[in-house]
Amino acid sequence: MASLFVEQGAAMETKISTFHIPPASMSSFDILSVVSFIFIYRRILDPLVARFRMKSKGITELQRMGIGLVLAIIAMVSAGLVEIFRLKYAIKEEKNCSRCEGTSSLSIFWQVPQYVLIGASEVFMYVGQLEFFNSQAPDGLKSFGSALCMTSISLGNYVSSLLVAIVMKISTRNEGMLGWIPGNLNKGHLDRFYFLLAALTAADLVLYIAMARWYKYVKFQGNNIEEGNNTEENSELYV
Tell me the per-residue pLDDT of 2-39, one tens digit each, with 9 for 90 and over. Answer: 789 999 999 999 988 888 899 999 999 999 999 999 99
Strands 217-218 and 235-236: antiparallel
pLDDT of residue 94: 47
- Is residue 82 pLDDT above 60, yes or no? yes
- Which pLDDT does position 95 carry in this prediction? 45
- Map out the domains of the chain with their CATH numbers: 4-236 (1.20.1250.20)
Strand ranges (E), the chain: 15-16, 19-20, 217-218, 220-221, 224-225, 235-236
How many Cα neighbours within 13 Å face the side chain of 53?
13
Q: Of 187, 236, 183, 234, nearest to 213 (Cα)?
A: 236
pLDDT above 90: residue 144: no
Q: Alpha-carbon distance 178 to 197, whole Å? A: 20
Residue 127 has a pLDDT of 86
Q: Residue 122: beta bridge partners?
A: none
pLDDT over threshold 90, residue 173: no
pLDDT at 53 over 60: yes
User: pLDDT (tens digit, 9 = 90+) per residue, 206-219?
Assistant: 999 999 999 988 87
In this prediction, residues 191-197 reach a mean pLDDT of: 94
Burial class of residue 232, CB neighbours in 10 A (0-12, 13-18, 19+): exposed
**What pLDDT, on the 0 to 100 scale, is given for residue 102?**
65
Q: Which pLDDT does position 222 carry in this prediction? A: 53
Q: Quick one: average pLDDT of 73-101?
A: 79
Output 90 or 177, whichever has higher pLDDT.
90
Q: What are phi and psi of 224, to 5 degrees?
A: -110, 150
Output the pLDDT for position 115.
Answer: 96
Q: Give mean pLDDT, residues 183-195.
A: 90
pTM for the predicted model, two decimal places = 0.83
Q: What pLDDT does residue 230 have?
A: 42
> Quick one: DSSP state of residue 1?
-
Whether the per-residue pLDDT at 184 is higher than 90: the answer is no
168 pLDDT above the threshold of 80: yes
What gap in Å lies between CA 129 and CA 65, rounded to an integer? Answer: 7
In 3D space, the residue among 123, 118, 169 whose CA is nearest the CA of residue 5 turns out to be 118
Which residues, at least 6 apart from 131, have a Cβ–Cβ distance to it below 8 Å?
A: 61
Average pLDDT of the chain is 83
